[in-house]
């Protein structure tokens, strides 16, 4: 009898916590709050759009943070955020997990991007073939003089496995082969760019919006990363950028997505160094 009563109390507590959590999310949406999390590539777009949107809609309160595409999609599946930023498409296993929880992720392409391969500005190498890039990242090439540079050891910098940029780079550049074990794995585009800027022998990769005069982008198969080569499809490491919602967006989430895809949002996309889709 005592065990049955304890089980009933525990079950009631679980139901209460679930209902409370669901009710809290509903209250957030009604009260004009929106939470966005995910890709550090999409982060500057989401932040700028949120700032401008809130200036036009003072009643809205939008929270934006990074963490990586995998982190954002996991949070959307768990029901703790409203919009997940992703620099890759959702994986089959993530989709299955979402549907098991009654979540229906819907992707909205908000921009296009290229993954720019970057070096220290003093590195004399100006371009690599895809096969050379793959050999560097998988460990077959270890010094810059093997690809026309100095005798310096190559310092390989990569994104971590939670990153959508890592997923796309791994597929497009490495044919899904494992990154060399001595690679410096970084949690954000900014961290990659900072590391490459500080090490003369380093190589890394970032979204187009993270290029600056502190690093040097190089050509891959003779094509430089740019807005123009992304639009033309000639650059070999190109990809779409997403914002995911649970089902078709409604309320504040719909207004925000519409803003991002509208003239002002797409102007921000362009100003942040990415490629507009409209």
Q: What is the CA radius of gyration of the chain?
A: 22
Q: Is the pLDDT of residue 268 over 50?
A: yes
Q: How far apart are CA 109 and CA 85, in angstroms?
A: 10
2-112+241-271 placed in CATH 3.30.565.10 = no
Q: How far apart are CA 171 and CA 22, in angstroms?
A: 37
pLDDT digits (tens, 9 = 90+) for 186-222: 999 999 999 999 999 999 999 999 999 999 999 999 9
Are 58 and 130 a contacting pair, CB within 8 Å?
A: no
Phi/psi at 24 (5° precision): -65, -45
Residue 129: Cβ within 10 Å count:
14
Are 48 and 268 a contacting pair, CB within 8 Å?
A: yes
User: What residues are paired with 80 via a beta bridge?
Assistant: none
pTM of the model: 0.81
> Residue 31's pLDDT is what?
57
Instruction: Give the torsion through C-alpha atoms of 46, 51, 56, 60, to 10 deg.
Output: 80
pLDDT digits (tens, 9 = 90+) for 152-174: 999 999 999 889 999 999 999 99
* 3 Cβ neighbours under 8 A, 6+ residues apart: none
Select the more confidently predicted residue: 215 or 8.
215
Within the chain, all domains assigned CATH 3.40.190.10 are found at 2-112+241-271, 113-238
With residue 198 as reference, give the H or E element that holds it. helix 189-198
Are 151 and 142 a contacting pair, CB within 8 Å?
A: no
Q: How far apart are CA 75 and CA 79, in angstroms?
A: 6
Q: Is the pLDDT of residue 145 over 80?
A: yes
**In 31-155, alpha helices (H):** 43-56, 69-78, 92-100, 130-138
pLDDT digits (tens, 9 = 90+) for 20-55: 444 444 444 445 899 999 999 999 999 999 999 999
- Helices and strands, number each (H, E), in the chain: 10, 11
pLDDT digits (tens, 9 = 90+) for 216-256: 999 999 999 999 999 888 999 999 999 999 999 999 999 99
* 4 Cβ neighbours under 8 A, 6+ residues apart: none
pLDDT digits (tens, 9 = 90+) for 115-135: 999 999 999 999 999 999 999
CATH of domain 113-238: 3.40.190.10
Are 209 and 41 a contacting pair, CB within 8 Å?
A: yes
> Residue 231's pLDDT is what?
87
CA angle, residues 203, 234, 91, in degrees to nearest 5: 70
Mean predicted confidence (pLDDT) in 137-161: 97
Instruction: Give the torsion through C-alpha atoms of 189, 249, 238, 278, to 10 deg.
Output: -110
Phi/psi at 117 (5° precision): -85, 130
Q: How far apart are CA 277 and CA 255, in angstroms?
A: 18
Q: Find the helix packing angle between 263-271 and 43-56, rounded to 10°.
A: 140
């Amino acid at each position: 009898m005592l065990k049955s009563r304890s089980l009933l109390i525990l079950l009631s507590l679980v139901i209460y916590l679930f209902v409370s959590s669901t009710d809290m999310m509903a209250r957030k949406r009604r009260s004009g709050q929106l939470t966005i999390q995910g890709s550090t590539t999409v982060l500057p777009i989401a932040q700028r759009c949120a700032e401008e949107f809130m200036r036009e809609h003072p009643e809205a309160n939008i929270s934006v943070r990074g963490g990586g595409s995998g982190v954002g999609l996991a949070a959307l599946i768990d029901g703790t955020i409203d919009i997940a930023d992703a620099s890759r498409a959702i994986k089959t296993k993530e989709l299955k997990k979402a549907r098991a929880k009654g979540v229906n992720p819907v992707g909205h392409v908000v921009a296009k991007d290229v993954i720019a391969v970057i070096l220290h500005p003093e590195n004399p190498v100006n371009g690599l073939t895809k096969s050379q890039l793959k050999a560097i990242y998988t460990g077959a090439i270890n010094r810059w003089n093997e690809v026309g540079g100095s005798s310096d050891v190559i310092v390989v910098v990569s994104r971590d496995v939670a990153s959508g940029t890592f997923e796309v780079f791994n597929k497009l550049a490495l044919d899904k082969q494992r990154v060399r074990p001595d690679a410096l794995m970084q949690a954000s585009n900014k961290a990659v760019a900072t590391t490459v800027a500080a090490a003369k022998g380093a190589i890394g990769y970032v979204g187009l919006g993270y290029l600056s005069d502190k690093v040097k982008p190089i050509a891959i198969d003779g094509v430089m990363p740019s807005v123009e080569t992304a639009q033309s499809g000639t650059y070999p490491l190109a990809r779409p950028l997403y914002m995911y919602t649970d089902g078709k967006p409604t309320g504040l989430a719909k207004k925000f997505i519409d803003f991002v895809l509208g003239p002002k949002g797409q102007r921000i996309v362009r100003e942040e160094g990415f490629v507009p889709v409209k």
